[in-house]
Structure 1
Amino acid sequence: MIAWIVLYIAASYLVGAVPFGYLAGRIRGLDLRREGSCNIGATNAWRVLGWKWGLSVFALDFLKGFVPVFGALNWLPFLTGDAGGWDFNAVVVLVCFAVVLGHTYTCFLGFRGGKGVATTAGVLFALNPVVACVALGAWLVFMGISGIVSLASLVAAVAMIAAGWWFYPLCQGGTVSPQILYIAFFTVVGALVILKHRSNIVRLLNGTEHSFYSKKSK
Structure 2
Amino acid sequence: MSLELLLWMLAAYLIAGIPVGLVVGRARGVDLREVGSGNIGATNALRAMGKAWGALVFVLDVAKAAVPVAAALHYLGPNPGGPTKVALVALAAILGHVFPIYLRFRGGKGVACAFGVFLVLAPKAALLSVIVYAQTVWLTRVSAVGSLTAALVIVVVAWVDPSVPLPYVILAAALAGLIWERHRPNLEQMFAHAREARAREAKLDRNE
Question: TM-score scaled by structure 2?
Answer: 0.86
Aligned pair partner of 1:148 in 142, 145, 149? 142
CA-to-aligned-CA distance 1:36-75 (integer Å, 9 cap, x gap)? 1110001101111222211111010010111111111112
* Larger gyration radius, structure 1 or structure 2: 2
How far 1:144 moved relative to its partner?
1.7
* Structure 2 residue 106 is the aligned partner of structure 1 residue 112: yes
CA distance in 1, matches of 2:116, 2:17: 14
CA distance in 2, matches of 1:129, 1:154: 18
Partner residue, 1:216: none
Contact 1:168 1:183 (C-alpha < 8 Å) held by counterparts:
no
Contact 1:168 1:182 (C-alpha < 8 Å) held by counterparts:
no
Contact 2:109 2:182 (C-alpha < 8 Å) held by counterparts:
yes
Q: Which runs of 5+ in 2 are unaligned?
A: 195-208
Which residue identity is paired with 1:54? G
CA distance in 2, matches of 1:92, 1:41: 24
Contact 1:15 1:102 (C-alpha < 8 Å) held by counterparts:
yes
Q: Which moved more, 1:199-208 or 1:43-52?
A: 199-208
* Structure 2 residue 126 is the aligned partner of structure 1 residue 132: yes
Which residue identity is paired with 2:185? S
Contact 2:77 2:83 (C-alpha < 8 Å) held by counterparts:
no
Q: CA RMSD of the aligned region, Å?
A: 1.8
* Structure 2 residue 175 is the aligned partner of structure 1 residue 181: no
Percent of residue pairs identical: 35
Give SS of 2:146's match.
Answer: helix
How far 1:149 moved relative to its partner?
0.7
Aligned length: 193
CA-to-aligned-CA distance 1:130-182 (integer Å, 9 cap, x gap)? 1112212211210121221111001111111222222258xxxxxxxx93222
Partner residue, 1:195: 181
Question: TM-score scaled by structure 1?
Answer: 0.83
Higher helix share: 2
C-alpha distance 92-133 of structure 1, shift in aligned 2 (>3 A): same
Which residue identity is paired with 2:187? I
How far 1:77 moved relative to its partner?
4.6
CA distance in 2, matches of 1:180, 1:58: 28
CA distance in 1, matches of 2:14, 2:148: 26
How far 1:103 moved relative to its partner?
0.5
CA distance in 2, matches of 1:114, 1:198: 13
CA distance in 1, matches of 2:118, 2:97: 15
Partner residue, 2:159: 165
* Structure 2 residue 33 is the aligned partner of structure 1 residue 33: yes
CA-to-aligned-CA distance 1:83-129 (integer Å, 9 cap, x gap)? xx4x2111100111011110011110010100001111010111111
